Amino acid sequence: MAIKKVALLTAGGLAPCLSSAVGALISQYSQIAPEVELIAYRNGYQGLLLGDTVSITPQIRAKADLLHNFGGSPIGNSRVKLTNVDDCVARGLVPPGSDPRQVAAAQLIADGVDVLHTIGGDDTNTAAADLANFLEQNNYHLAVVGLPKTIDNDIYPIAQSLGAWTAADEGARHFSNVVSEHTSNTRMLIVHEVMGRHSGWLTAATALSYRSMLDEITWLPEFGLTRNHRDIHAVFVPELEIDIADEASRLSNVMDQVGNVNIFLSEGAGVDSIVEKMRSSGEAIPLDPFGHVKIDKINPGEWFANQFAPMIKAEKVLVQKSGYFARSAPANAADRKLIQDCAVVAVQAALAGISGLVGPDDDQGGLIRVCEFQRVAGGKPFDTEQIWFEQLLSQIGQPKGKPAKTH
């Protein structure tokens, strides 16, 4: 079947790849299939449910390369789960008594869409796959070709998700300024909270990127400007248990010797313990439309800072989150190359009517290919057995610890 009309949407949280991915797809279609009509649904599945589209005009096509210079999404995002009927009704996206999947399917049919490109995480892409299956049962063939977006880098079977490298570098850049706050007070504890609900990859990669920045600095120890003060003293990820008593003892020695302590903390590290404590005290657990705990509402960074501060005799505590700074950046050179390579395969698959999630396949040596939707899932844990991570912990003097029970 000849492809006549293609729609794009971006969904979920931001990542430093959305604008670049949209630009890459537009450019690729303009190059090899300029006759195909392109539209985009504004604000993800919200726009699909409301029939809110933008036409990708010849003027936009001619300037598509400019999108690589921007963070965020040029077509907007939203957190809408098609199977959460109550939420869709409450937000006025569908009438009471209707099925959001049927509404979305009817809109795709009305718009005459042959291919839907979804740029998002596992929820975004599996929802699109469900839509395609629903339409197939009603004798309407829709090819769904997704691109993997998440700075957590935690999608099965994707070896490297789009935007994650950039987020790590930007998080490191954020902390490279924040760390100077240790000079504002003696015995300072700084907790750098990094995004990562289930996976510690971003926290570890941000730490690695930051320490690479330290390697490039010429120090002035005669005036107290040493690497020790600005180095990382602990990296906590969800995949490893955190023995607070043991770590407090170790970090207390660091505080006494160096005069300050810097911790990199994955926002998902220890969340189960925090939530359990909230439940036991009768507190309500804030959830998003996907049923995920709203981590920004329970503040893991503050919780851990409150645990460690008295134990290491910190005189001042600073908790900083780099997530929004990091995820809103434009893609860096490495991510732009990966995005472009994925866009080429994605357009080829779309024109052939093949559905799936395009990215480096973990099970095929990182080959960029169309991964089958039935293999796609979220929550892929960070592999703490990797040599570079074990070396990182060793270099900062932190024992690796035991695997966390939830992983």
**Token pair 């906590």 in the structure block, residue:** 236
Structure tokens, 233: 């003293």
Cα 382 to Cα 196: distance, rounded to the nearest angstrom: 10
pLDDT score recorded for residue 285? 84
Structure tokens, 180: 């100077």
Residue from 204, 21, 35 nearest 125 by CA: 21
Q: How many CA atoms lie within 13 A of 13 on its CB side?
A: 24
pLDDT score recorded for residue 407? 47
Say if CB 36 and CB 1 are below 8 A apart.
no
DSSP state of 65: G
Cα 401 to Cα 303: distance, rounded to the nearest angstrom: 20
Name the phi and psi angles at 261, rounded to 5: -135, 135
DSSP bridge partners of 40:
8, 54
User: Between vectors from CA 198 to CA 195 and to CA 199, what angle results, nearest 5°?
Assistant: 70
Q: How many CA atoms lie within 13 A of 214 on its CB side?
A: 20
Task: Report CA torsion sign: 69, 22, 291, 87.
Answer: positive
Name the phi and psi angles at 203, rounded to 5: -65, -45
DSSP bridge partners of 359:
369
Structure tokens, 379: 């929550």
Structure tokens, 381: 């844990």
Task: Report CA torsion sign: 262, 265, 269, 274.
Answer: positive
Amino acid letter, 25: L
DSSP bridge partners of 179:
none
Cα 139 to Cα 62: distance, rounded to the nearest angstrom: 36
pLDDT score recorded for residue 338? 98
pLDDT score recorded for residue 290? 67
DSSP state of 315: S
pLDDT score recorded for residue 406? 57
Residue from 395, 383, 394 nearest 237 by CA: 383
Q: What is the pLDDT along the chain (407 residues), one digit of tens a residue?
A: 689 999 999 999 999 999 999 999 999 999 999 999 999 999 999 999 999 999 999 999 999 999 999 999 999 999 999 989 999 999 999 999 999 999 999 999 999 999 999 999 888 888 888 888 888 888 888 999 999 999 999 999 999 999 999 999 999 999 999 999 999 999 999 999 999 988 999 999 999 999 999 999 999 999 999 999 999 999 999 999 999 999 999 999 999 999 999 999 999 887 777 787 778 878 888 887 767 787 777 789 999 999 999 999 999 999 999 999 999 999 999 999 999 999 999 999 999 999 999 999 999 999 999 999 999 999 999 999 999 999 999 999 999 989 987 54
Structure tokens, 56: 């990708």
Q: Identify the three-state secondary structure at position 227.
A: helix
User: Between vectors from CA 126 to CA 120 and to CA 131, what angle results, nearest 5°?
Assistant: 110
Residue from 132, 70, 61 nearest 101 by CA: 132
Chain-centroid distance of CA 23 in Å reads 19
Cα 98 to Cα 76: distance, rounded to the nearest angstrom: 25
Q: Identify the three-state secondary structure at position 325.
A: helix
The beta strand positions in 18-103, using DSSP E, are 37-41, 53-55
DSSP state of 270: T
Buried residues in 389-402 as b, exposed as e (16+ CB within 10 A):
beebbeebebeebe
pLDDT score recorded for residue 292? 75
Cα 216 to Cα 211: distance, rounded to the nearest angstrom: 9
Residues annotated as part of the active site: 152
